[in-house]
A and B are shown apart, each in its own frame.
Chain A
């Protein structure tokens, strides 16, 4: 059984002036023990799609037609309490710019106490990502850490919650390549265990090739079929025009 089943007819955004279709005819299943990657140009709708999957699009401005099933719940129609329960326990989202997803008036203690399921495992993760131990980190405020550190804390938080699905938006942007290697290793370990799955978007094609099982491209409002890495890039190189320019 898939971890997540999405069948989205279209996602529209409304402004005072117009209504525009951002994405259409998107259908896929996320199966356990896989890492799925979506690539696409800036502005193609990757972040919009990720947010749609987790009910994070503001319904005052976005209209989503279709269904997104996580276990037996349609995330588009389920009640707020159930949605919150799923987001707290089962699906974790790591934002592209995580430092801005934390409340600067709350220490990290607030977040870890809420989400961490196993203190010992959390300490191990903090150590793995070269973060301060909990007795030091939990007293810190978000404004006291760098962007790269916030990214590591965000992933540690997501893993500490022991979810079934982790969704990440550009996880390697803004972090050093050494740390990006740690992310890759840990995400592979997570996906290989239990009933877990990972979905992420990235511009980093080298990362995509090394971490993923299945890749799809988002372009012209549509998502291509998820394909195995080698097959995807082989097809891309034979059908896409080579990039402009001399380099």
Chain B
């Protein structure tokens, strides 16, 4: 099995102001190492502040780690990741220019990839692959609903044919049917385009249906990792057990506090 991406001993810290004169180093990520197999879907879960989005930004090159390295396609160079890694952020409305016609955005992205393609065929293929209906192609961003905007953003990402797609909380604020449709869409993209994915979610039940492997993060560290099925049926780390119990709304207040104090 080919490894597409390897994270080696990634650390990330920032200076946090604690008083007018004093700063303290805050460790956001502590010694993170993992690899992603080509063609697979990796799920990353953990509570807010565990470092998931920071890790995603480091993988894409938006942030530079304090130490450690990201190796993509056996290359350590930042240049190797341009366009080959794409990220779909949580606030999709801010990704697309609200005043541009969606079709024009997609055509522009397709031409970035290859100026010699048949634009009409590729455009149709691209927008159909994310179930973006034809009657919306000539709309502008501000005229779309949240779900439609998300699909348009996804279409633009796929247009540049990335090798790795990072999804940051793609299911938040979606109704049940939309979540199901999105899950199916991500599976199709992974299968039909061969795009490797990293999916960051709060909702363990959704990621269980999508990811081949999982990482559970807590306070900047990976506390558990493994095949999704095994992780859910035989969790080992107390925090993973806590998350699974919380998902089922089975936690007592005492159990919650005990976890927080550990």
Contacts and interface: CB of A to CB of B under 8 A. Distances in A.
Interface in A147-185: 148, 170, 173-178, 180-182, 184-185
Interface stretch (B20-28, B63-71, B120-128, B253-261): B253-261
Interface string B239-252: 00011001111111
B259 to A, nearest CB: 7
Interface stretch (B2-10, B110-118, B180-188): B180-188
Contacts of B48: 146, 148, 175-176
B95 interface: no
Contacts of A128: 253
A42 B146 contact: yes
Nearest to B49: A146
Interface residues of B, number: 34
Given A178-B256, A245-B183, A42 B178 contact: yes
A211 B250 CA distance: 11
A211 B176 CA distance: 18
A176 B253 contact: no
Given A43-B145, A148-B48, A207 B249 contact: yes
Nearest to A130: B260
Interface string B15-50: 000000000000000000000000000000001100
| Chain B interface helix/strand/loop/mixed | helix
| Chain A interface helix/strand/loop/mixed | loop
Given A43-B145, A206-B247, A206-B249, A244 B181 contact: yes
Interface residues of A, number: 31
A136 interface: no
Nearest to A181: B251
Interface in B203-231: 204-205, 209
Contacts of B175: 40-42, 203
B173 interface: yes
B256 A176 contact: no
Contacts of A105: none
Contacts of B247: 177, 206
Nearest to A210: B249
B246 A177 contact: yes
B75 interface: no
Given A146-B48, A245-B180, A246-B187, A173 B173 contact: yes
Interface of A: 40-43, 128, 130, 146, 148, 170, 173-178, 180-182, 184-185, 203, 205-207, 210-211, 243-247
Nearest 3 A-B pairs (CB), nearest first?
A177-B246, A181-B251, A176-B47
Given A42-B145, A182-B253, A247-B180, 20 more contacts: A40-B175, A42-B147, A42-B174, A42-B175, A42-B178, A128-B253, A130-B260, A148-B48, A170-B173, A177-B47, A177-B246, A178-B260, A180-B246, A182-B256, A203-B176, A205-B176, A206-B249, A243-B180, A245-B181, A247-B184
29 contacts: A40-B175, A42-B147, A42-B175, A148-B48, A170-B173, A173-B172, A174-B172, A174-B173, A176-B48, A177-B202, A177-B204, A177-B246, A178-B47, A178-B243, A178-B251, A178-B256, A181-B256, A185-B252, A203-B174, A203-B176, A205-B176, A206-B249, A243-B176, A243-B180, A244-B184, A245-B184, A246-B184, A247-B180, A247-B187
